[in-house]
Structures are given as C-alpha cells and as structure tokens.
Amino acid sequence: MWTSDVDLHSHSTHSDGSNPVHVVAEAMAAAGVRVWSLTDHDTTRGWEEAEAAAQATGMVHLPGVELTCTPALPPRSGATRSSSWHLLAYVPNGLERPEAARLRAWIAGLTEARGPRMAAMVERLNALGVEVDLERVCARASGAVGRPHLAAELVDLGVVGSVQEAFDVWIGDGRPAHVERGRPSIQDAASKVTAAGGFCSLAHPMYYDVDTQALMQVLKRDGVDAVEAFHGSHDDRYRAELWQAAVASGLSVTVGSDHHGPDHNPLPGRRPVPIDALHPAILALRNST
C-alpha cells in the first residue's frame, strides 16, 4: 500500500524558505499531509512554532533539521552539490526528550558557524568591488543565514539578474567569493542524532552522483537509518532504484517535497511512498493521527 500524506522535508524563513512556519504548515495541511516535518538548514529554532502550527492544522509534527555534512563518497561526475551532503535528522518527541536539548545545543553551534562564514564571504565580495552590507544580508534570515540570503541581496543590488547567477558567478562552490565552513561528517552527525533518540535519512541522493550500492554500504557503515528515496528531484526510475536498494540493505525510506515556498517548486505533499518501507517511527506517528 502507498500513501501521500507524509512530507518530511520543508523549509521556512528560519533558513532559506520564503514563508514563516505557520504558512508552511497551512500549505502542508491543505495538501492532505498528516505527518509533517520542518527541516530548516542547521537550525531547530522553528520546532516550537511548527509543533503549535501542526496542532492548529490537525497534523502531527516530527521535529527535524537538515544538517550540512562533509561528503562520505566522492561524486562520479557532474554532481550539483558535491562539496556537501545533507542529512535529515528527526527526533520524535524532540520537544520533550532531555537528550534532545544537547543535540539542539550542538546544532546551534553549527548555526552560529554560518555567521563568521557569511562575514568572510561579504568581505571577499567587498574586496572584489561588490559592495554588500553584512547586516542587510543577515536581516534576511530569522534563523540560519546562508548563501541563498546573500544571493537574494546580490539580486536586489542589481549585481546579478537571478539567484542562480549569483551562485554561478560569485558565491557557488569554487567561485571567487565562496568560503568553506566547518561541517560534521555524516557519521558524527548520525551518532549525535541517535544518542538523542532520533534517526536520520540522507536527503536527495541524486545531487551527490554516487553509485547506489556503494551509497547503501556507506549509510549502513555510518549509522544512517534511511534514505530520502522519494524526493521531488528523483524520477521514477531512480526512486525505485533507491527504494529497492534500501530495502535490500535493511534501511528505511523517507519522503519529502523539499518545499521552500510558493516561488520554489516543488509543491508540498502529493508524493506517494510505500507505507511498509517507511521508518517505524514515521509509521507510529501516522497511526497516531
């Protein structure tokens, strides 16, 4: 049996989404979602808001976060995000578990690391003759400031014509104003999440351009519980490949739209996933609604 009432990957203005938490929740509920997770980048600041918004809209909220990690495998060729892998971390009852407080403190350190990195990138742009105000960039983020906020500022300044051009010309990996920042390994992040009573799923594997069987071996080795096989960027063939490989490897799957707001595809919800392949914690939450 399949369901499309689970969406465990979405973003708000606490990271690079365009809508506040309650609007994201309303969009999810309108799409028929019953189990939802807000997974902003490297921050848990929206958890309390998401919990309240989910209750107001009749959904169950699974506290989550999208952690930026170092790659566990090199890309084969042409990967669009080869410099980092993203790990979706979920903590059932995360607002109640005392162990989750330690995890949130560790994640807060990752969020704070974004500030010095952004300052360094703005400094590089200024040195290159592109005048950017750091305070204006940081004001765009209510939580974790990141490159999408800087890209939007460059668009508004007329330096570039689009966010994509900002990445391609100035701030993308290897571009003149790009600055790397410290990131945990997949194994380190997964161990911290597991210690807090949570579980992990590797986000959108298509972006990393790695062999599927090799990927499954690495995920099991590094303590990752699941893979986001059902993501908007994956076509039917790749979804099936990941799903079958995960099941054969004893892993679960997760599903997520990666919704960032009305100006960013894809839309929330509406992604069928085989129920029996979902992580047991997700099934328990779904059965509670």
Q: For 94-111, how does the pLDDT look when each residue is reduced to its tens digit (9 = 90+)?
A: 998 889 999 998 888 777
User: Do 126 and 74 have their domain in common?
Assistant: no
The whole-angstrom separation of Cα 144 and Cα 20 is 14
pLDDT of residue 251: 98
pLDDT of residue 265: 65
Contact present, 198 and 223 (Cβ < 8 Å): no
Contact present, 87 and 189 (Cβ < 8 Å): yes
pLDDT of residue 22: 97
Q: Is the pLDDT reported for residue 269 higher than 70? A: yes
Question: Would you place residue 113 in the very low, low, confident or very high pLDDT band (cuts 50, 70, 90)?
Answer: low
Arithmetic mean of pLDDT over the chain? 91
User: Do 197 and 281 have their domain in common?
Assistant: yes
Range of the domain at 237: 2-106+184-287
Q: What pTM does this model have? A: 0.81
Question: Would you place residue 139 in the very low, low, confident or very high pLDDT band (cuts 50, 70, 90)?
Answer: confident
User: Do 89 and 191 have their domain in common?
Assistant: yes
User: Do 207 and 279 have their domain in common?
Assistant: yes
Question: Would you place residue 78 in the very low, low, confident or very high pLDDT band (cuts 50, 70, 90)?
Answer: low
User: Do 227 and 113 have their domain in common?
Assistant: no
Provide the domain count of the chain.
Answer: 2
User: Do 99 and 217 have their domain in common?
Assistant: yes
Span of 16-25, 28-37, 75-84, 135-144 with lowest mean pLDDT: 75-84
Span of 59-63, 216-220, 230-234, 248-252 with lowest mean pLDDT: 230-234
The whole-angstrom separation of Cα 111 and Cα 46 is 13
Cβ-proximal residues to 113 (8 Å cutoff; 6+ apart), any chain: 181, 182
Which range is most confident: 39-43, 62-66, 68-72, 136-140? 62-66
User: Does 222 map to a domain?
Assistant: yes
The whole-angstrom separation of Cα 254 and Cα 243 is 9
